[in-house]
Amino acid sequence: MPRALVTGGAGFLGSHLCDRLLAEGMEVVVFDNLITGSTDNIAHLIDNPKFRFVRYDVTEYLYLDGAVDFVFHLASPASPMDFTTKAIQISKVNAMGTHKALGLARAKGAKFFLASTSEVYGDPLEHPQTEEYLGNVNPIGIRGVYDEAKRFAESITMAYHRSHDLDIKIVRIFNTYGPRMRLSDGRVVPNFIGQALRGEPITVYGDGSQTRSFCYCSDLVDGFLRLVLSDQTGPINIGNPTERTMLEFAEQIKSMTNSRSEIVFLPLLTADDPKQRRPDITKAQTLLGWEPKIALEEGLQRTISYFQTRL
């Protein structure tokens, strides 16, 4: 039975990945220090003999008994709110944590999977973003802790590939949403849905003209699996190209929740908030045969239902 280590496996995406790996017949070990993850996300797996959770900070030396076939490195806070409150942890988990996870993969002869991000493109001057675009990142901006650390993570992953012939996979994740996001996460999907359901003002940052493209979590995880089982190394964009301005998005959520909340405008959280973001997924389509299947409306409906049970 193949065995996978998932760092950050108690997080939003990590826990969905664990579900999928177990469903594929793998044994799964999670390392997570729970600074943004939660045991609630994996509570349904705890009694599964093929699943093991270890509370651990992956910036420390990683030790795991026995064979490991896959190392999925997902550990990292990822909400812009965390970029100020957890700035040093973000730098460390993507720099030192990636180094440790690579070291373990090398020692075990495992495939290494890096969860990178569309943030490597920064505030992009090319639209939509292809994997060839080299980005527009401010290293000393508030987002720099995340963007530059993920860029470093990609570069050290390539170094292990080139120097040690490690089998690597790099995915660049665009905005993703779904059940198990933290309600207090600070990102736009939980913020808008939580505010709309509670009848509180829906907070659009800036003038709301900035765009994002939202992918449902199960589609994203399907892209991960296709990449891991392919002969590609990436980097490869995985995301849903359906693009909305944040003002349109606020209106869509208000209407889907039948909310009477008013829409208010607040200053941007970070000055370097990307003005536009949409993945070019030609590579994922042609090299992996991957495409998102869950339409935005359907995914939002499922996410709204989830948050309704949490309020």
List, by residue number, the catalytic residues: 146
Minimum CB separation of residue 212 from ligand UDP in Å reads: 5
Nearer to ligand UDP, 34 or 269 (CB): 269
Residue whose CB is less far from ligand UDP, 26 or 78: 78
- The structure tokens 């579900």 sit at 19
Concatenate the DSSP letters of all residues of 10-63 into one string. TSHHHHHHHHHHHHTT-EEEEEE--SS--GGGGGGGTT-TTEEEEE--TTSPP-
Give the interface with ligand UDP as residue ranges (CB under 6 A): 79-80, 175, 187-188, 191, 203-205, 210, 212, 246, 268-269, 273
Q: Give the side-chain half-sphere CA count within 13 A for 231.
A: 0
Closer CB to ligand UDP, 204 or 296, in the complex = 204
Shortest distance, position 309 Cβ to ligand UDP, whole Å: 21
State the minimum distance, in angstroms, from the CB of residue 83 to ligand UDP: 9
Segment 271-275 long-range contacts (CB within 8 Å, at least 24 positions apart):
271/141, 271/142, 272/122, 272/123, 272/138, 272/141, 272/142, 272/143, 272/144, 273/80, 273/123, 273/205, 273/206, 273/210, 274/119, 274/121, 274/122, 274/123, 274/124, 274/210, 275/123, 275/209, 275/210, 275/211
Phi/psi-derived region of residue 139, left when phi > 0, alpha when psi is between -120 and 50, beta in every other case: alpha
Q: How far apart are CA 168 and CA 243, in angstroms?
A: 30
Q: What's the closest the beta carbon of residue 103 comes to ligand UDP, in angstroms? A: 29
Q: For residues 110 and 204, which CB has a smaller minimum distance to ligand UDP in the complex? A: 204
Residue 15 and residue 9: Cα distance in Å, rounded?
5
Q: How far is the CB of 265 from ligand UDP (least distance, A)?
A: 9
